[in-house]
Amino acid sequence: MKRRDFVKGALAATAAAGLGGCTREMIEGKKSFHSARRKRVTLKIATSWPANFPIMGTGVDHFAKMVEAMSGGSLIIKVYPKNILVPALAVFDATSSGQIDGFHSGPYYWKGKNPAFALFSGLPMGMVASELKCWMDYGGGYDLWRELYGRYNLYPFMGGNTGVQMGGWFRKPIESLSDLHGLKMRIPGLGGEVMAKLGVNPILLPAGEIYTALERGTIDATEWVGPALDIRMGFYKVAPYYYTGFHEPGSILELTFNKKRFESLSDEHRAILAQAAEAMTTRMYHEFIDQNARALKKLKKLGVRIYDFPNDVIEAAKKAVKEVVDEQSAKSEDFKRVYASMAAYARLVEPWTEISEGRYLQIR
C-alpha cells in the first residue's frame, strides 16, 4: 500500500470513528438536555374511591404510571383518593371550578345536575360494555357527552367499565314481583328509579355504612358491583340471596378533566392522556372480568347460590325502564336527545350482538 493511500484511509477511519462516537454522545446529551429543559406539568386528579380501592382505584394509579412513562416524565398525574383533597362526590364541582385538574368517578352520580348525565353510565336493560364503547366512539356518544359537560367547563373520557353488574344481595328470596313491594334497597342512578317503579324504596348510603345497615335490617337489600368487589364487603354473611342483574349492563366510569386546563396542554400531552385513558378503559374492563370470575368461584365455595329474578319482575322492569325514559325525556330535552342517540345506536348494533356473541353463547 502507498503511504498516501494509507494516510487517507487512516484519516477516514479516524473521522468515521470520531463521528460515530460523537454522534452517540451528542444524541444522548441532546436527549438529556431536552429532558431537563422540557417543562414538567403536574395534574391533580381526585377519585371517588378510597385509597388502593381494587380495580377502580388501582386502575387510576396504573393510569398515572402509564402517563409518566409515555411522556418521559414530562407529565405527572398526582392521584388523590376520596376525601383527601375533596369529598368523594364533590369531585365534579371541584374540577369544574378549577380547584383540581380532573377526577375519576361515575357519570350517574351527577344526574341531579342534568338527568342526561346518568345515561352516560348506561341504561337499565340497555347496551352492554362493548356496545356502549362503540356508541361513544362511532355513534355520537362522545360528542353529546363533551357538549353537555362543556357547559360545566369539563372534558370527559371513558375511564373504565364494570361490565354487567349483579342485581344485588337480598335478605329474603324474591319469588315474585310482590316480594319487592316495600323493600328498602341501596341502589343509585336510573336503576334506583326503575326499582322504585317496582315498589322498592331506593336508598343512598356511603359504602362504609352498607354492611351494617344490611346486618341490622335497616335496609333489606343492596346492589354493589359484582363478585370481585362484593365479596370484600362481606354481604354474603347477612344477605344470602344473590341475584343476577339488569339495572347496570355495562356501567361506564369516567376520567374527566377541567376543560380549560386540558386545552392548555400541549398536543403531545393531550394525545398521551387520550391514549392512556383508552388503555385504562380496556384494562379495567378486562380486570373486572378476571377478578369477578375468581371471586365467583370463592363465593360458590362459601355456599353462595346465584338466583335469577322471576319473570314477572323482569317484565315489570322492562316496562318501568320505558316509563322512566318517557318521564325524564318529558322533563329534559338533553335527556331526550341523548336517549334518542343511544336508542338509535342500540337498534343498529344489538342485532349483530345477538347473532354473533348471543348465538355463540347459546351454542357454547
pLDDT at 206: 79
**Please, where in the chain does CATH 3.40.190.170 lie?**
39-161+250-290
Q: HSE, CB side, 13 Å, CA atoms: give it for residue 340.
A: 9
Which residues make up the CATH 3.40.190.10 domain(s) of the chain? 168-248+305-363
Side by side, the strands of the sheet bearing 184-186 are 201-203, 184-186, 221-222, 168-170, 241-243, 305-307
The predicted-structure confidence for 207-263, as pLDDT tens digits, reads as follows 889 999 999 999 999 999 999 999 999 999 999 999 999 999 999 999 999 999 999
Longest dimension (CA), the chain: 107
The region, left, alpha or beta by phi > 0 then psi within -120 to 50, assigned to residue 148 is: alpha
What are the CB-based long-range contacts (under 8 Å, 24+) for 350-359?
Answer: 350/127, 350/131, 353/128, 353/130, 353/131
Q: Give the H/E segment covering residue 202.
A: strand 201-203
Per CATH, the homologous superfamily of domain 39-161+250-290 is Bacterial extracellular solute-binding protein, family 7 (3.40.190.170)
Average pLDDT over residues 9-24: 43
pLDDT at position 136 is: 98
Q: How far is CA 329 from CA 301, 325, 334, 337, 340, in A?
A: 45, 6, 8, 8, 9
Instruction: Give me the CATH topology for the region 168-248+305-363.
Output: D-Maltodextrin-Binding Protein; domain 2 (3.40.190)
pLDDT category at 305 given cuts 50, 70, 90 is very high
| DSSP sequence for 261-304 | HHHHS-HHHHHHHHHHHHHHHHHHHHHHHHHHHHHHHHHHHTT-
- For residue 207, give the C-alpha cell: 359504602
307-356 pLDDT, tens digit per residue, is: 999 999 999 999 999 999 999 999 999 999 999 999 999 999 999 999 99
Per the listing, cell 354474603 goes with 236
Structure pTM? Answer: 0.88
